[in-house]
Amino acid sequence: MARTSQDSSSKWHFHWTKKVENEDDEVPIFKSSNTIEEEKKENVKSHVGMSTPKKKLPAVAVARLRSVLAALGKNRSSLPLGLGSRVVGTLFGYRRGHVHFAFQKDPNSPPAFLIELATPISGLVREMASGLVRIALECDKEKEEEKKAVRLQEEPMWRTYCNGKKCGFATRKECGPKEWKLMKAVEPISMGAGVLPGCATEAGADGELMYMRAKFERIVGSRDSEAFYMMNPDSNGAPELSIYLLRV
């Protein structure tokens, strides 16, 4: 486009005259003053009446541009929304089952990060009752020749550490109908912990479905590190639960 604008500007400011290609063309040498004056008037009239034609984009180019803009708008609307600096975190699991963590941008949005830990929820409850809990999730960086544009929250497998002790592995999960039903059940709850009464009868041999829900502050250190700190309602003291995502 820059080249096109330069070409058009050069044509606007400079009027190139056509050379005489045939040297045998008869060119009058002597002209009368009346003839010269008339030619000047004709030249002035032709330049004044001349209008510079406006360049228009071809119809095909316009249609293609519109289709590209429409596709960009459609793809942007279908992209999943990322997490912000304040998120909603939900810890849940059956009494004799494993711990699940879900982070949402807001209470009515699908989880942007859902993971299942190998730690039983009864053990995590005991850890939280004794004091502060720090959970670190680690995954390996890919080699330079195999590196892909994978967001940290999209890593499938994690090594788990709870207060410095190794607790097996954690796996990323998709939000299925069962998980989404639970998210909708705790949607009105902004902060609290307890047992979901409607899911107690569905638990079967795994026992009651326990949950803890709170707001978390999300801090992004780099593309390979994020931290989630549970926010206390009184804003005093250290967070009771912190979760770290690390790619090492």
pTM of the entire predicted model: 0.64
Average pLDDT over residues 171-185: 92
The confidence band for 148, taking pLDDT boundaries of 50, 70 and 90, is: confident
Dig out the tokens for 219 from the structure.
């801090």
Q: Which of 142-156, 161-175, 191-205, 206-220 has the lowest mean pLDDT?
A: 191-205
pLDDT at 199: 61
Average pLDDT over residues 4-16: 44
pLDDT at 61: 60
Q: Which of 22-31, 63-72, 109-118, 200-209 has the lowest mean pLDDT?
A: 22-31
Q: Is 46 exposed, middle or buried (0-12, 13-18, 19+ CB in 10 A)?
A: exposed
The confidence band for 3, taking pLDDT boundaries of 50, 70 and 90, is: very low
Task: Give Dmax (Cα) for the chain.
Answer: 117
Q: What are phi and psi of 222, to 5 degrees?
A: -160, -175
Highest mean pLDDT range out of 76-85, 102-111, 200-209? 102-111
Q: Which of 31-35, 147-151, 180-184 has the lowest mean pLDDT?
A: 31-35
Strand intervals (E) in the chain = 86-94, 98-104, 113-120, 133-139, 157-162, 165-172, 192-195, 209-222, 225-230, 241-247
> With 70 as the cut, is the pLDDT of residue 201 above it?
no
> With 50 as the cut, is the pLDDT of residue 237 above it?
yes
Contacts of 209 (CB under 8 A, 6+ apart): 92, 93, 94, 95, 182, 195, 196, 199, 200, 202, 203
Average pLDDT value for the chain: 75
pLDDT at 235: 59
d(CA 19, CA 30): 20
Cβ-contact 100, 114 below 8 angstroms: yes
Q: Is 5 exposed, middle or buried (0-12, 13-18, 19+ CB in 10 A)?
A: exposed
Average pLDDT over residues 102-131: 91
> With 60 as the cut, is the pLDDT of residue 138 above it?
yes
Highest mean pLDDT range out of 2-11, 193-202, 220-229? 220-229
Count Cβ atoms below 10 Å from residue 180 Cβ, excluding itself.
12
Q: Which of 12-21, 83-92, 156-165 has the lowest mean pLDDT?
A: 12-21
d(CA 234, CA 139): 34
Dig out the tokens for 7 from the structure.
């070409």
Q: What are phi and psi of 48, to 5 degrees?
A: -70, -40
> With 60 as the cut, is the pLDDT of residue 1 above it?
no
98, β-bridge pairs: 120
d(CA 41, CA 48): 11
pLDDT at 158: 97
pLDDT at 27: 43
Average pLDDT over residues 183-208: 77
